[in-house]
């Protein structure tokens, strides 16, 4: 109705719009207190070697245990980014994840991946913040991977991408690695490979889901997945296939030469105490189906 009324008019009576605004402002005020109330918890999901099925690292994934139930990151991360709350929240995740990873890294060499938003990476103090978290945890830089999405960078112009690249380069001098997340879903995936210092490419699940269905669309996906895996090998980047749910999918991406994988087949995101038993075992799937 608001659209039909013309772009200069606001329809305040649209009940759906009204409900959305109420929902959002509640979300914002709840999120403001989530940190001090200790409602933000970090879960961990394994990243495995597709040949040996060994867990090489884990990805930290944030959950919000609010008074009204568990809230998933896709619902509150965009709001946290808009309001700037992502900065203190991101610091919290970084501190928590590096502290948790200390034991796993010492015992098994298992490092941790932390998702970071463009807003965090543009801050002038991002380098000391990251190094400070590693230091406090007693971890070397090589135990940490920062995951950035193209969408997180899309909001930024070219000069800002250069600033992000400078910060990432500095962190890489300390051994921290950089992963491009959800690769292939953005507008300029290949441009980012050129403009940002990258070590790891996480291939979006949309490309790895081609095993079961032999149709035309699956053939295209397989062709694209093959091209991305080959590109990574040529550029000396580690490829991770995301969202692997079945044994067929795991075998299909492995056959393309993709070295690493992640997905429900190998383990769902779980609290810290539940990830520890999966580490150091030779085959995480054998352990899981025990």
CB atoms under 10 Å from CB of 169, counted, come to: 13
150 sits near ligand C2E (criterion: CB under 6 A): no
What's the min distance (Å) between Cβ of 184 and Mg ion?
A: 11
Per partner kind, with CB cut-offs from 5 to 8 A, the member of Mg ion, ligand C2E, none near residue 116 is: ligand C2E
Instruction: Pick from 50, 55, 56, 77 the residue near ligand C2E by CB under 6 A.
Output: 77
Extract the tokens encoding 221: 């996906």
72 sits near ligand C2E (criterion: CB under 6 A): yes
73 sits near ligand C2E (criterion: CB under 6 A): yes
What's the min distance (Å) between Cβ of 191 and ligand C2E?
A: 20
Extract the tokens encoding 170: 């500095």
Which range of residues in 3-11, 188-196, 260-268, 277-285 is near ligand C2E by CB under 6 A? 260-268
181 sits near Mg ion (criterion: CB under 5 A): yes
Residue window 139-178: x/- pattern of binding to Mg ion, with contact defined by CB under 5 A: --------x-------------------------------
Three-state SS for the chain is CCCCCCCCCCCCCCHHHHHHHHHHHHHHHHHHHHCCCCCEEEEEEEEEECCCCCEEEEEEEEEEEECCEEECHHHHHHHHHHHCCHHHHHHHHHHHHHHHHHHHHHHHCCEEEEECCHHHHHCCCHHHHHHHHHHHHCCCHHHEEEEEEHHHHHCCCHHHHHHHHHHHHHHHCCCCEEEEEEECCCCCHHHHHHHCCCCEEEECHHHHCCCCCCCHHHHHHHHHHHHHHHHHHHHCCEEEECCCCCHHHHHHHHHCCCCEEECCCCCCCEEHHHHHHHCCCCCHHHHHCC
**How many residues form the binding site for ligand C2E (CB under 6 A)?**
23
| Contact positions with ligand C2E (CB under 6 A) in 217-256 | 243-245
155 sits near ligand C2E (criterion: CB under 6 A): no
Which range of residues in 169-177, 213-221, 261-269, 277-285 is near ligand C2E by CB under 6 A? 261-269
186 sits near ligand C2E (criterion: CB under 6 A): no
| Contact positions with Mg ion (CB under 5 A) in 103-132 | 115
Query: Which residue ranges make up the site for ligand C2E (CB under 6 A)?
Result: 45, 61-62, 72-74, 77, 90, 93, 115-117, 147, 149, 181-182, 243-245, 262-264, 269
Query: Which residue ranges make up the site for Mg ion (CB under 5 A)?
Result: 115, 147, 181-182, 242
């Amino acid at each position: 109705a608001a659209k039909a009324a013309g772009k200069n008019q606001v329809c305040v009576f649209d009940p759906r719009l009204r409900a959305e605004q109420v929902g959002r402002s509640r979300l914002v005020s709840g999120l403001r207190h989530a940190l001090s109330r200790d409602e933000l918890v970090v879960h961990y999901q394994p990243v495995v070697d597709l040949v040996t099925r060994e867990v090489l690292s884990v990805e930290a994934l944030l959950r919000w245990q609010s008074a009204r139930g568990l809230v998933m990151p896709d619902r509150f991360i965009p709001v946290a980014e808009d309001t700037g709350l992502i900065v203190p929240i991101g610091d919290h995740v970084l501190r928590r994840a590096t502290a948790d990873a200390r034991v796993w890294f010492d015992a098994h060499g298992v490092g941790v991946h932390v998702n970071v938003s463009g807003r965090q990476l543009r801050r002038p103090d991002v380098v000391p913040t990251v190094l400070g978290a590693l230091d406090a945890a007693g971890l070397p830089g090589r135990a940490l991977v920062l995951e950035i999405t193209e969408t997180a960078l899309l909001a930024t112009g070219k000069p800002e991408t250069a600033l992000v690249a400078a910060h990432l380069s500095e962190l890489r001098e300390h051994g921290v690695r950089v992963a491009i997340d959800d690769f292939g879903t953005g507008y300029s995936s290949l441009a980012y490979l050129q403009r940002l210092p990258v070590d790891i490419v996480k291939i979006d699940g949309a490309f790895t889901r081609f095993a079961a269905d032999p149709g035309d669309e699956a053939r295209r996906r397989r062709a694209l997945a093959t091209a991305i895996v080959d590109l990574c090998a040529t550029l000396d980047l580690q490829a991770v296939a995301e969202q692997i749910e079945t044994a067929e999918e795991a075998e299909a991406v492995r056959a393309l030469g993709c070295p690493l994988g992640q997905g429900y087949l190998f383990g769902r995101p779980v609290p810290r105490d539940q990830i520890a038993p999966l580490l150091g075992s030779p085959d995480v799937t054998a352990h899981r189906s025990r």
